[in-house]
């Protein structure tokens, strides 16, 4: 259509470099990464980073590495010029961080770059300036052994890209992340970084990796770390994962070093999350610092311009190795005890028998999943398709669980105990409670004042009830008067029909209806407040997303958590006094209601002693 497009031309080097710069240099953090990698490759023992204005005004990296001989300075900034590999054969077993030979050329294209360098055996150094790709003269200069590279005014000649830079604070954050990745990989180097003259990190060299992690991320995190290691088929995995009591709202604190290079790998992240299933609330991500070592032939690092993503020869094997290692570790680690180890009052709350109960509980699910659990007490139990399945062993489900008529509002402490426990127990044992800020329940027990997260508690209760019923095969399911058609994608419809057995267990009965539509014909009574189609969609979403681990135990647990979280009252929901009372009563029926299903505390206790102390009575 446009005649101008007909002439094919070879692009001038400067345009090629600008294009390459677009790939590699996104923001100051990319420069920090590339320069740090060069310093590491140069055998530095000390590296200092300094930034001005988020790195947009200046990124300077100085090292005491091998330096660049004066006669090679021009080559260093030429594109595809590298000292690190000689031929394609060497590409298959690179040990250095860099090898593409385009970082300095790309950076120099979009900034004002100044290199000063002096090799160890040289009496003097030399300097070279490149501004927006225009290469200056190499001139002698006095400088210490090593290399200092200054990158000023990033994107000064590409204003569009400069506009994409964020606030200095945000850019500094990204730059610090680049710094941390290298610092984690090389605890043996002394590394510092500063912004606008203020030190952000000063990390002395150490031979203890944990010291480096603590120096970067703090003592509290350091104390929560659990050592893991394994070796398989020449692949070595070592590192730390955080106790589930400490987690993050995103997966950025998952550091994986492959042969000393920080990588992001979706499959390994998935394995990590999988290992923590049942230990973290949904939406929380585990923290990990892992080192993988393997022969360079087992991985291709040349698939991503920033070399952040790699391709493993046996990705599946690696996935299983990571997941298996963590699972084994968690099964032999008393995580329940650690959950509260940093908090004495919570420790008092989690008594020994709770822990034992939690352990038995976990064991029961695992046995059930393996098909080892004893047969259901009543083999002739009604199938989930029937109206309901009364079972004398399991109390029928009530949204808030109380079988008693609601007691009067909870202002009178003892009235809340009108339920099953009141007869035996002293009046003060489970006092009444009240809701505050539509979020928390406040009540008392003999130890002191208890503040409960209403969502976490209800989620926990629902989870326990659902689980109990599902495991006993007595989840009441109701036939829908009019079966509900749900239109899915072809793969979702197939997954739904494939998973009919699992869905049956959850009280959801589906039938094929033709095309990509399935019919929901039965639905659990206890989820009456959620729309069947919506629940089915969510369940199917999990099923489809999770084809990697068709593990019955995991899937069922995950679905139970998901459903109980959805069905539970939310923070912000106003509760009637009866609902408050009922929730508080339910609290005593289940073990470990101190924690929501995945370990976040559901309740905080302010002991009498602590209160007395704070009021200066003792």
Residue from 98, 168, 187, 599 that binds ligand ADP (CB under 6 A)? 98
Residue from 30, 50, 111, 147 that binds ligand ADP (CB under 6 A)? 147
Q: Which does 326 bind (CB under 5 to 8 A by kind): ligand ADP, Mg ion, none?
A: none
357 vs 335: CA distance, rounded Å: 13
Smallest gap from Cβ 4 to Mg ion, in A, equals: 37
Q: Which does 417 bind (CB under 5 to 8 A by kind): ligand ADP, Mg ion, none?
A: none
Smallest gap from Cβ 71 to ligand ADP, in A, equals: 12
Stretch touching Mg ion by CB under 5 A, among 37-45, 406-414, 501-509, 602-610: 37-45
Cα dihedral 77, 19, 38, 151 in deg (nearest 10): 70
Among residues 556, 161, 202, the alpha carbon closest in space to that of 366 is found at 556
Residue from 42, 154, 292, 461 that binds ligand ADP (CB under 6 A)? 42
- Of 101 and 448, which has the nearer Cβ to Mg ion? 101
561 vs 456: CA distance, rounded Å: 11
Residue from 49, 51, 103, 456 that binds Mg ion (CB under 5 A)? 103
**Is 46 one of the binding residues for ligand ADP (CB under 6 A)?**
no
**Is 103 one of the binding residues for ligand ADP (CB under 6 A)?**
yes
**Is 117 one of the binding residues for Mg ion (CB under 5 A)?**
no
Cα separation of the two ends of the chain: 89
Sign of CA dihedral 135, 141, 146, 152: negative
Q: Which does 275 bind (CB under 5 to 8 A by kind): ligand ADP, Mg ion, none?
A: none
Stretch touching ligand ADP by CB under 6 A, among 62-70, 384-392, 540-548, 586-594: 62-70
Answer yes or no: are the C-beta atoms of 183 and 216 closer than 8 Å: yes
417 vs 431: CA distance, rounded Å: 7
Query: Which residues, other chains included, contact 435 with Cβ-Cβ below 8 Å and sequence gap of 6+?
Result: 441, 442, 454, 574, 575, 580
Residue from 13, 22, 45, 84 that binds ligand ADP (CB under 6 A)? 84
Stretch touching ligand ADP by CB under 6 A, among 101-109, 369-377, 439-447, 547-555: 101-109
- Of 80 and 266, which has the nearer Cβ to Mg ion? 80
537 vs 102: CA distance, rounded Å: 47
Residue from 104, 310, 323, 474 that binds ligand ADP (CB under 6 A)? 104
Smallest gap from Cβ 25 to ligand ADP, in A, equals: 11
CB burial class (10 A; 0-12, 13-18, 19+) of residue 227? Answer: exposed
**Is 38 one of the binding residues for Mg ion (CB under 5 A)?**
yes
Residue from 20, 31, 58, 66 that binds ligand ADP (CB under 6 A)? 66
Strand partners, 48: 62, 192
Summarize the chain as % helix, strand, coil (round to 5).
40, 20, 40
Written as six digits, the tokens of 600 are: 């976040």
Stretch touching ligand ADP by CB under 6 A, among 80-88, 373-381, 407-415, 430-438: 80-88
Query: Which residues, other chains included, contact 150 with Cβ-Cβ below 8 Å and sequence gap of 6+?
Result: 58, 59, 60, 113, 114
Place of tokens 């062993």: 393
**Is 113 one of the binding residues for ligand ADP (CB under 6 A)?**
no
Smallest gap from Cβ 152 to ligand ADP, in A, equals: 17
Written as six digits, the tokens of 283 are: 């939406």
Smallest gap from Cβ 95 to Mg ion, in A, equals: 14
Stretch touching ligand ADP by CB under 6 A, among 1-9, 103-111, 263-271, 500-508: 103-111
Written as six digits, the tokens of 218 are: 């703090």
Answer yes or no: are the C-beta atoms of 248 and 285 closer than 8 Å: yes
196 vs 199: CA distance, rounded Å: 9
Place of tokens 């031929």: 87
Strand partners, 239: 228, 290
Smallest gap from Cβ 174 to Mg ion, in A, equals: 19
Written as six digits, the tokens of 538 are: 């969510």
- Of 99 and 440, which has the nearer Cβ to ligand ADP? 99
Residue from 14, 53, 83, 404 that binds ligand ADP (CB under 6 A)? 83
The C-alpha R_g of the chain, in whole angstroms, comes to: 31
Number of residues located near Mg ion, criterion CB under 5 A: 3
Q: Which does 73 bind (CB under 5 to 8 A by kind): ligand ADP, Mg ion, none?
A: none
Q: Which does 39 bind (CB under 5 to 8 A by kind): Mg ion, ligand ADP, none?
A: ligand ADP
**Is 99 one of the binding residues for ligand ADP (CB under 6 A)?**
yes
Q: Is 228 in a helix, a strand, or coil?
A: strand
**Is 206 one of the binding residues for ligand ADP (CB under 6 A)?**
no
- Of 175 and 241, which has the nearer Cβ to ligand ADP? 175
**Is 112 one of the binding residues for Mg ion (CB under 5 A)?**
no
**Is 49 one of the binding residues for ligand ADP (CB under 6 A)?**
no
496 vs 43: CA distance, rounded Å: 56
Residues 226-285 that bind ligand ADP (CB under 6 A): none
Following DSSP, what letter does each residue of 317-377 receive, concatenated?
HHHHHHHHHHHHHHHTS-HHHHHTTT-HHHHHHS-HHHHHHHHHHHHHHHHHHHT-SPPPS
**Is 65 one of the binding residues for Mg ion (CB under 5 A)?**
no
Written as six digits, the tokens of 137 are: 């003269």
- Of 128 and 228, which has the nearer Cβ to ligand ADP? 128
Strand partners, 255: 289
Q: Which does 543 bind (CB under 5 to 8 A by kind): ligand ADP, Mg ion, none?
A: none
Residue from 54, 55, 65, 98 that binds Mg ion (CB under 5 A)? 98
CA angle, residues 110, 116, 122, in degrees to nearest 5: 150
- Of 30 and 350, which has the nearer Cβ to Mg ion? 30
Residue from 18, 33, 60, 100 that binds ligand ADP (CB under 6 A)? 100
Residue from 14, 26, 91, 101 that binds ligand ADP (CB under 6 A)? 101
Residue nearest to Mg ion (CB): 98
Among residues 142, 173, 159, the alpha carbon closest in space to that of 55 is found at 173
Residue nearest to ligand ADP (CB): 98
Residues 19-38 that bind ligand ADP (CB under 6 A): 34, 38
Number of residues located near ligand ADP, criterion CB under 6 A: 22
599 vs 424: CA distance, rounded Å: 30
Phi, psi values for residue 294, rounded to 5° = -155, 165
Written as six digits, the tokens of 51 are: 């930034």
Binding pattern for the stretch 474-493 against ligand ADP, x by CB under 6 A and - elsewhere: --------------------
Chain positions contacting Mg ion, by CB under 5 A:
38, 98, 103
Chain positions contacting ligand ADP, by CB under 6 A:
34, 38-39, 42, 63, 65-68, 76, 82-84, 98-105, 147
């Amino acid at each position: 259509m446009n005649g101008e497009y007909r002439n094919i031309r070879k692009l001038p080097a400067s345009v090629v470099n600008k294009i390459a710069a677009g790939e590699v240099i996104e923001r100051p953090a990319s420069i920090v990464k590339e320069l740090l990698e060069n310093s590491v490759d140069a055998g530095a023992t000390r590296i200092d980073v300094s930034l001005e204005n988020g790195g947009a005004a200046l990124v300077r990296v100085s090292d005491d590495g091998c330096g660049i001989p004066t006669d090679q300075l021009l080559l260093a900034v030429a594109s595809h010029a590298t000292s690190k590999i000689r031929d394609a054969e060497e590409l298959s077993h690179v040990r250095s961080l860099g090898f593409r030979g385009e970082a300095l050329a790309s950076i120099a294209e979009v900034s004002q770059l100044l290199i000063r360098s002096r090799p160890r055996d040289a009496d003097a150094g030399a300097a070279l300036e490149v501004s927006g790709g225009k290469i200056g003269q190499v001139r002698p200069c006095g400088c210490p052994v090593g290399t200092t590279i200054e990158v000023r005014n990033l994107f000064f000649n590409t204003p569009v890209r400069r506009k994409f830079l964020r606030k200095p604070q945000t850019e500094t954050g990204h730059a610090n992340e680049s710094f941390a990745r290298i610092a984690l990989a090389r605890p043996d180097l002394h590394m510092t970084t500063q912004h606008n003259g203020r030190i952000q990190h000063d990390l002395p060299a150490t031979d203890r990796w944990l010291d480096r992690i603590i120096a970067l991320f703090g003592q509290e995190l350091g104390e929560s770390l659990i050592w893991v290691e394994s070796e398989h088929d020449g692949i070595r995995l070592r590192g730390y994962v955080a106790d589930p009591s400490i987690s993050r709202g995103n997966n950025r604190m998952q550091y994986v070093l492959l042969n000393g290079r920080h990588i992001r790998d979706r499959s390994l992240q998935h394995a990590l999350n999988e290992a923590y299933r049942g230990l973290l609330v949904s939406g929380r991500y585990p923290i990990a610092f892992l080192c993988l070592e393997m022969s360079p032939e087992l991985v291709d690092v040349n698939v991503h311009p920033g070399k952040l993503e790699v391709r493993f020869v046996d990705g599946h094997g690696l996935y299983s190795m990571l997941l298996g290692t963590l699972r084994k570790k968690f099964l032999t680690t008393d995580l329940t005890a650690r959950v509260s180890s940093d908090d004495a009052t919570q420790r008092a709350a989690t008594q020994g028998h709770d822990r034992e109960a939690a352990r038995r509980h976990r064991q029961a699910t695992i046995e059930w999943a393996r098909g080892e659990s004893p047969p259901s007490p009543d083999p002739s139990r009604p199938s989930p398709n029937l109206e309901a399945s009364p079972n004398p062993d399991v109390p029928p489900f009530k949204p808030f669980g109380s079988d008693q008529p609601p007691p009067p509002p909870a202002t009178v402490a003892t009235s809340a105990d009108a339920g099953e426990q009141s007869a035996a127990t002293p009046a003060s044992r489970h006092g009444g409670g009240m809701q505050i800020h539509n979020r928390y329940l406040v009540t008392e027990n003999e130890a002191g004042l208890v503040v409960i997260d209403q969502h976490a508690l209800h989620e926990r209760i629902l989870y326990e009830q659902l689980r109990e019923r599902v495991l006993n095969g007595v989840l009441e399911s109701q036939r829908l008067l009019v079966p509900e058609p749900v239109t899915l994608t072809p793969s979702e419809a197939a997954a739904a029909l494939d998973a009919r057995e699992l869905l049956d267990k959850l009280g959801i009965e589906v039938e094929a209806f033709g095309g990509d539509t399935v019919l929901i014909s039965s639905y659990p009574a206890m989820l009456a407040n959620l729309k069947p189609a919506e629940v089915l969609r969510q369940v199917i979403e999990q099923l489809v997303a999770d084809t990697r681990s068709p593990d019955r135990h995991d899937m069922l647990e995950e679905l139970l958590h998901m459903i109980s979280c959805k069905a539970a009252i939310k923070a912000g929901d106003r509760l009637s006094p009866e609902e408050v009372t009922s929730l508080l009563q339910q609290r005593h029926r289940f073990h470990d209601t101190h924690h929501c299903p995945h370990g976040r505390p559901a309740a905080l206790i302010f002991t009498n002693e602590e209160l007395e102390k704070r009021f200066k009575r003792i």
